[in-house]
Amino acid sequence: MTVDYHVHSLGHGDRKHIISELRPFLDKAKTMGLKDIGFADHDRYLDNINFKNYEELSREYSHINIRVGLEFEYFPHLVYEMSRVIQRHNFDYTIGSVHFLGDWNFDHPDHMNQYKKWNVEDFYTKYFQTVLGCIETGLFNIAGHIDLAKVFNYRVEQTKVLKLIEPVLAEIKLQSMAMEINTGGLYKPVNEIYPSMDIIKMAVKRDIPLTISSDAHRFEDVGRNSGMVVEILKELGVKWVAGFNKGHMVEIPLD
């Protein structure tokens, strides 16, 4: 049994949050043999979510744990607003992610031209500094796609990346968070999971809890490559992955 804690039922806002649109995600989760499915839409779509739908579907799909979270887009100047959202909702978990540096959505193909304005090492440094700020807020349960800077295959020396990630991993450990292994990167130009194997090994060495995510924006992608991730974790000696229930981390054994 495995899990998928990063599923976007609303996609990029191109669907309605209704039962008939949600059922295919759960049917695919059943096919994939998931123990937990975690719906975590982008925070900008919060007002489009009908949380009662999840209550109804939990009764209908009693064989699978439906967990409800939110993926927050971290902006340093919006920390207070994010904390208020979390206080107002009884989320099972929250994901903290960085897709923007300032007003630049660096992982969107429409904005790739802005890479020309950056020295790639400066870009990576700024990205990981921003991720560190996100983790330091203490607001989130899961660190999302933590080396997303590589999405378009702009690269620096891996030794540089590993040096930049050190304080981030230390803070994740300090905040008692989990780090996701996100298979979505296999379907991006980088063609690699987030994070890299080197970073996963660093996290395992530091006993940082890990969870598994597809970053699915379509029901067809729920649980994709989760079996591959399970095998990777088993080879590294990992016995369980992190799940969440009403803000509390739970250990889900890797069968």
Query: Could you give phi then psi for residue 192, rounded to 5 degrees?
Result: -155, 145
List, for residues 63-112, the tens digit of each pLDDT value: 999 999 999 999 999 999 999 999 999 999 999 999 999 999 999 999 99
- Closest CA relative to residue 241, chosen from 56, 31, 67, 22: 67
Position 146 confidence tier, pLDDT thresholds 50, 70, 90 = very high
List, for residues 180-207, the tens digit of each pLDDT value: 999 999 999 999 999 999 999 999 999 9
Position 255 confidence tier, pLDDT thresholds 50, 70, 90 = confident
State the pTM of this model: 0.97
- Closest CA relative to residue 24, chosen from 241, 216, 251: 216
Buried b (16+ CB within 10 A) or exposed e, 115-134: eeebeeeebbbbbbebbbbb
**Domains in the chain, start-ordered, CATH in brackets?**
2-253 (3.20.20.140)
Cis peptide bond upstream of 167, omega within 30: no
Average pLDDT of the chain to the nearest whole number = 97
